[in-house]
């Protein structure tokens, strides 16, 4: 039970770590319970009955317990069924990594856990101010009604702040991307007033049965995927107790790396190398981490260790990574040599073509750079659908490069034509 309460408390002083814990554990059931209870408590705080209205039957009808429970459950249902999928869809539009269906199955449970806990925390932190600041004794006053509306929506700014952190942690987005995803997903609020009506429609046994079957199928698949990943991670953690099992540490590092936990990933990869110095995959991933962090000397060192053991590691992608590291270090000739070695086996790789073109441009070989950019665009356009989605960003980058170059050429030619008349 303490494991369920700990993330809720941790949100208030270390929200990023709390989201990381929820992503790993996916306490979606506990999150839903906490969200409903805190919403109900907040609703009761705003609608507590004044003493002089204790026997007002109209007021009692409005504050019927069933109504309050329904009003507390409606936003939670909206979050689970509409808002969380909308966040994932918006994030996928901003930073497309896979199809929306795959993303929904993989990340729904962690994202739902974070969002529901965020809702609970945002209402919990405003509960005491609502009790202290709002006095229902003047419940018929227009000013009190306006104040009540303000207090009712007061938890939303903190909830939005936590939702941004949740998107950043669960989907490994940048803050700007996470904010953009929240802004896009906010359009789903249009559906919020429809939730009570939908709940009313579910009073039909036939419709309720159909909806329950559909929801059970969807949520069952999403939750099953989350449980499978968690069980696999626990199995790997148990396997790492074997001091001679380097592959277990490597695979555990991949899980941490996929979830954006770079420190744990690095520790797992280093442990794999300590056990087996010839663990080339671990050297490769450590090189990628070092390159992304700007530790280019360390990156090259790890990549060299890979090349010594397997010159064609990962279908020759090692040479693309080496070229990228040299490019970041402004060693363009070395980068060019690495990319040319890469193209011996992977001559139509979109990312490699783009990086090769950028390297040629920095060396002043502009025509060749433009040729490689056009080849990059063509490689993506003719790629299968599954590959097109993952490589579209390189086509966009290449097209932007070509447009910028074309604009620069036109500006230069225009300047040449104007120069005689200006003189």
Per-residue pLDDT tens digits for 407-420: 776 555 555 444 44
Residues 234 and 25: their CA atoms lie apart, in Å, by 11
Question: C-alpha dihedral over 92, 97, 103, 107, to 10 degrees?
Answer: -90
pLDDT category at 280 given cuts 50, 70, 90 is: very high
Residues 163 and 386: their CA atoms lie apart, in Å, by 29
SS3 45: helix
pLDDT score, position 217: 59
Tokens of 253: 């590092």
Yes or no: say if 289 and 257 are a contact pair by the CB < 8 Å rule.
yes
151-160, 274-283, 351-360, 412-421 — which one is most confidently predicted on average?
A: 351-360
Q: Which residue has the higher pLDDT, 187 or 211?
A: 187
Yes or no: say if 172 and 92 are a contact pair by the CB < 8 Å rule.
no
pLDDT category at 94 given cuts 50, 70, 90 is: confident
What separation in angstroms does the CA of 18 have from each of 8, 12, 190? 8, 9, 30
The burial class, CB within 10 Å (0-12 / 13-18 / 19+), for 51 is exposed
pLDDT score, position 419: 45
Tokens of 240: 């790492």
SS3 242: coil
pLDDT score, position 67: 64
Yes or no: say if 356 and 386 are a contact pair by the CB < 8 Å rule.
no
pLDDT more than 90, % of the chain: 38
pLDDT score, position 44: 80
What does the pLDDT look like over 208-261, one tens digit per residue? 455 555 555 555 655 565 666 666 566 666 666 677 788 888 888 888 887 777
Here the contacts of 61-70 (C-beta below 8 Å, separation 24 or greater) are: 68/40, 68/43, 68/44, 69/40, 70/196, 70/199
- Mean pLDDT on 368-375: 94
pLDDT score, position 342: 94
- Mean pLDDT on 176-195: 80
Residue 58 pLDDT greater than 90, yes or no: no
- Mean pLDDT on 265-274: 91
pLDDT score, position 417: 45
pLDDT category at 376 given cuts 50, 70, 90 is: very high
Residues 81 and 165: their CA atoms lie apart, in Å, by 20
Q: What is the mean pLDDT of the chain?
A: 80
The label of the residue with tokens 């303490």 reads: 2
Residues 75 and 196: their CA atoms lie apart, in Å, by 9
Tokens of 379: 């490689």
Which domains occur in the chain, in start order? Answer: 2-201 (no CATH), 241-407 (1.25.40.10)
Backbone phi and psi for residue 25, each to the nearest 5 degrees, phi listed first? -105, -30
Q: What angle do CA 335, 340, 346 make, to 5 degrees?
A: 120
Residues 147 and 247: their CA atoms lie apart, in Å, by 60
Yes or no: say if 265 and 253 are a contact pair by the CB < 8 Å rule.
yes
The label of the residue with tokens 């962090």 reads: 293
Q: Interhelix angle for 28-46 vs 142-153, to 10°?
A: 170
Residues 130 and 135: their CA atoms lie apart, in Å, by 9
Q: What angle do CA 268, 236, 166 make, to 5 degrees?
A: 75
pLDDT category at 334 given cuts 50, 70, 90 is: very high
- Mean pLDDT on 152-162: 89
Residues 142 and 289: their CA atoms lie apart, in Å, by 59
pLDDT score, position 353: 94
SS3 92: helix
The label of the residue with tokens 């040319």 reads: 340
What does the pLDDT look like over 167-179, one tens digit per residue? 999 888 888 999 9
pLDDT score, position 360: 95
Report DSSP state, residue 273.
H
Q: What angle do CA 155, 160, 163 make, to 5 degrees?
A: 125
**Residue (of 107, 75, 116, 109) closest to 88 by Cα position:** 107
Radius of gyration of the chain measured on its C-alpha atoms: 28
Q: How crowded is residue 299: how many other Cβ atoms within 10 Å of its Cβ? A: 25
Largest CA distance in the chain: 93
């Amino acid at each position: 039970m303490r494991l369920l309460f700990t993330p809720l408390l941790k949100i208030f002083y270390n929200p990023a770590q709390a989201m990381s814990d929820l992503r790993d554990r996916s306490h979606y059931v506990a999150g839903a319970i906490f969200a409903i209870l805190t919403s109900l408590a907040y609703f009761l705080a705003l609608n507590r009955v004044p003493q002089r209205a204790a026997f007002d039957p109209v007021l009692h009808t409005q504050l019927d317990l069933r109504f309050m429970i329904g009003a507390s459950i409606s936003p939670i249902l909206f979050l689970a069924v509409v808002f969380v999928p909308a966040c994932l869809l918006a994030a996928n539009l901003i930073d497309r990594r896979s199809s929306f269906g795959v993303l929904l199955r993989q990340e729904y449970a962690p994202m739902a856990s974070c969002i529901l806990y965020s809702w609970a925390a945002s209402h919990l932190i405003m509960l005491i101010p609502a009790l202290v600041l709002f006095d229902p004794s003047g419940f018929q006053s227009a000013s009190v009604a306006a104040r009540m509306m303000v207090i009712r929506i007061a938890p939303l700014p903190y909830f939005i702040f936590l939702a941004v952190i949740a998107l950043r942690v669960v989907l490994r987005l940048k803050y700007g991307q996470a904010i953009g995803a929240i802004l896009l997903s906010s359009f789903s609020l249009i559906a919020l007033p429809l939730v009570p009506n939908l709940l009313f429609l579910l009073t039909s046994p036939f419709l309720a049965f159909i909806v329950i079957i559909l929801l059970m199928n969807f949520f069952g698949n999403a939750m099953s995927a989350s449980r499978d990943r968690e069980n696999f991670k626990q199995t790997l953690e148990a396997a790492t107790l074997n001091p001679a099992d380097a592959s277990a540490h490597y695979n555990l590092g991949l899980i941490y790396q996929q979830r954006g936990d770079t420190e744990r990933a690095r520790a797992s990869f280093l442990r794999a190398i300590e056990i087996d110095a010839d663990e080339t995959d671990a050297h490769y991933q450590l090189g990628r981490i070092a390159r992304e962090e700007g530790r280019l000397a360390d990156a090259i060192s790890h990549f060299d260790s890979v090349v010594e053991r397997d010159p064609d590691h990962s279908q020759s992608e090692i040479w693309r990574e080496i070229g990228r590291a040299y490019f970041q270090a402004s060693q363009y000739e070395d980068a060019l040599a690495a990319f040319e070695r890469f193209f011996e086996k992977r001559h139509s790789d979109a990312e490699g073509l783009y990086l090769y073109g950028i390297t040629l441009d920095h060396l002043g070989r502009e025509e060749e750079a433009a040729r490689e950019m056009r080849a990059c665009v063509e490689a993506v356009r003719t790629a299968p659908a599954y590959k097109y989605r993952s490589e579209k960003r390189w086509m966009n980058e290449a097209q932007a490069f070509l447009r910028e170059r074309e604009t620069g050429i036109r500006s230069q030619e225009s300047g040449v034509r104007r120069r005689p008349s200006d003189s």
